[in-house]
Amino acid sequence: MDILTLQIPEHVNLYDEMVKQAKLHPKKVIIEDLSVALTYKKFLIAVNVMSGKLDQIVKGEKRVGIFLPNVAAQVIVLFALFKNEQQPCLLNFTMGTQNIIDCIETVSPMETVITSREFVKKADLEFVIEEMEKQVKVVYLEDVRSSITTFQKLSGLFGSRVSGLKKREQSEVILFTSGTESKPKGVILTHRNIYANIKQVFNHVALDEDRDRILNPLPLFHSFGMTVGSILPVVGNVKVFLYPSPLHYREIPKIVEKDKSTLFVATNTFFENYAKYATREQLHTLRIVVCGGEKLQKDVRDTYRDKFGIQIMEGYGATETSPIISLNTAQHHKEGTVGRLVPLMEARISKVEGVNEGGNLLLKGPNVMKGYLIHGKGFVPCGEWYNTGDIAEIDKDGYIRIISRLKRFAKIAAEMISLNKVEELALECFGESVFYAVSIPDKRRGEKIILFTTKEDVPVRKFKKFIKDKKMSLLYIPSEIKHIDEVPLLGSGKPNYWVLEKLAKKEE
């Protein structure tokens, strides 16, 4: 599709878009997990049966919580709510109890959360459910399934044959920010936002409906896991395998081989760990491999090129943009950048006082969110331009280079020092991307840098000499380098700098 002909309709319901594909490809296996493989026909029937059942359970409720792992059942519930013109609120089960309760309060009124007994037990989330039940009614999928009658099954089968006759209202999906700096914010994405991003991806990347197979281990509460890993497959006719956790480093390469996956997306941290256990044979079917969420480090990129014959492409996104903003491709890529903007997006750079390189990246486009839900305040619409909070620069060819998060700067002796740059220098000095910089208050110089690492015996003096030899500012030298056994991660796979910052302050 040419960018000149890429148009996003004003009215979109993702259930209706899925039905169009199901009618065209009823026998194609479109979604699979560890226990089930569903053709479009079976998926559509399951969605219709579930929508009828949920219409009884949560009838009249505008927002419905989903608290489920990355399995086909969650996608069925998601599309059942789309059909019922309700708003799914995808709760992040890795957040911790208080943050989850904050999320529920943020989207109030929300009366019901759908979960699974088996999931709650396996994930040891009983206490979270106890606290949740003080706020909402908890409905278990096992009970929903067992109460489905023969008549409802027949209704679902009949409904699958006449689906699409009704034009449904455009609805919304609510995801949540991580809540590491304040209470989590609800991000409102319309069906049109998500559909636009799917169309942008198809225009930007050469996906083949017959050939490509997506492996998605990212949870649906993560915007990439939801849009590209769950909705794009069934709306765009690209088969997906859902795996319940990205942390199973030994198992995921085996799934790639078994499924013959061709498209795989993960963070730098996840890629680094998969490489420890994967073989070249296991990954040989992969043709589109994308790193997002955090910077792709040189050692990880080189490992995949040399060990597996794979070129990892770097991309960039945000929950607020449904999520994909830019992406390197096989045809158009530039090392050290996150690629060019996807079609129909615009960007501009806003100068930031004290930051000499690049500026604040602002964006607009059809995939940019409707707005935020703020705890205790309610809905705040997104302005004309979405402020990413990322310091970036755009070269003459349109390639975007992310320099740092605006919040990932330390102000030392009145100078703005990029914590990302400190990590890059440590990688260059010691040859491994296992360094994580945070800043904490310092009475003498305003702030100071603490560098955490999983590498044993890293001397500050060696790093200091390295920075001096490069003739760089001595402000990049951390006050301390601390060893940790394991890097704390967010559910998305990004390093949890908030936990590291708390640890640094605690040890002061």
Encode pLDDT of 226-285 as tens digits. 999 999 999 999 999 999 999 999 999 999 999 999 999 998 889 999 999 999 999 999
Of all residues in the chain, what percent carry a pLDDT higher than 90? 74
pLDDT digits over 131-147, tens only? Answer: 999 999 999 999 999 99
pLDDT over 60 (residue 179): no
Domain containing residue 435: CATH number: 3.30.300.30
366 in a domain, yes or no?
A: no
Q: Is the dihedral of CA 391, 176, 200, 264 positive or negative?
A: positive
The top-scoring range by mean pLDDT among 124-133, 145-154, 488-497 is 124-133
Q: Taking residues 397-409, what's their average pLDDT? A: 87
414 in a domain, yes or no?
A: yes
Q: Taking residues 22-39, what's their average pLDDT? A: 97
Q: Taking residues 325-332, what's their average pLDDT? A: 95
Residue 394, pLDDT score: 97
Compute the distance between CA of residue 184 and CA of residue 104 in angstroms, rounded to an integer: 10
The phi, psi pair for 445, rounded to 5°, reads -120, 15
Contacts of 412 (CB under 8 A, 6+ apart): 439, 442, 445, 446, 447, 448, 449, 475
Half-sphere exposure of 209 (CA within 13 A, CB side): 10
Compute the distance between CA of residue 12 and CA of residue 306 in angstroms, rounded to an integer: 44
SS3 assignment for 161-196: HHCCCCCCCCCEEEEECCCCCCCCCEEEEEHHHHHH
Q: Running DSSP on this structure, what letter comes out for residue 474? A: G
Does the bond joining 323 to the residue before it have cis omega, within 30 degrees of 0?
Answer: yes
Residue 497, pLDDT score: 87
* Residues spanned by the domain of 493: 408-506
pLDDT over 70 (residue 3): no
- Greatest C-alpha distance within the chain: 77
Chain-wide mean pLDDT for the chain?
A: 92
Residue 272, pLDDT score: 93
User: For the whole model, what pTM was predicted?
Assistant: 0.85
pLDDT over 70 (residue 196): yes
428 in a domain, yes or no?
A: yes
445 in a domain, yes or no?
A: yes
Residue 1, pLDDT score: 46
281 in a domain, yes or no?
A: no
473 in a domain, yes or no?
A: yes
Does the bond joining 109 to the residue before it have cis omega, within 30 degrees of 0?
Answer: yes
Q: Taking residues 150-163, what's their average pLDDT? A: 74
Q: Report the range of poorest mean pLDDT among 177-191, 213-227, 438-452.
A: 177-191
Compute the distance between CA of residue 504 and CA of residue 506 in angstroms, rounded to an integer: 5
Write down how long the chain is. Answer: 508
Which amino acid is present at 201?
A: V
Among 231, 40, 64, which residue's Cα sits nearest to residue 144? Answer: 64
Does residue 127 come out as left (phi exceeding 0), alpha (psi in the -120 to 50 range) or beta? alpha
Please report the DSSP string for 3-43 in residue order. Answer: GGG----S---HHHHHHHHHHH-TTSEEEE-SS-EEEHHHH
Compute the distance between CA of residue 104 and CA of residue 88 in angstroms, rounded to an integer: 12
Greater confidence, 411 or 27? 27
Residue 443, pLDDT score: 80
Of all residues in the chain, what percent carry a pLDDT higher than 70? 96
416 in a domain, yes or no?
A: yes
Contacts of 245 (CB under 8 A, 6+ apart): 69, 70, 217
pLDDT over 60 (residue 110): yes
Residue 350, pLDDT score: 94
Residue 352, pLDDT score: 83
SS3 assignment for 287-322: CEEEECCCCCCHHHHHHHHHHHCCCCEEEEECHHHC
Compute the distance between CA of residue 271 and CA of residue 285 in angstroms, rounded to an integer: 16
* CB neighbourhood size of 258 (10 A): 11
Among 452, 417, 201, 466, which residue's Cα sits nearest to residue 322? Answer: 201
pLDDT digits over 441-477, tens only? Answer: 888 778 899 999 999 988 889 999 999 898 888 888 9
The first and second tokens of residue 317, run together, are: 């996104």
412 in a domain, yes or no?
A: yes
Give me the number of domains the chain comprises: 1
Q: Say if CB 490 and CB 505 are below 8 A apart.
A: no
Contacts of 335 (CB under 8 A, 6+ apart): none
pLDDT over 60 (residue 152): yes
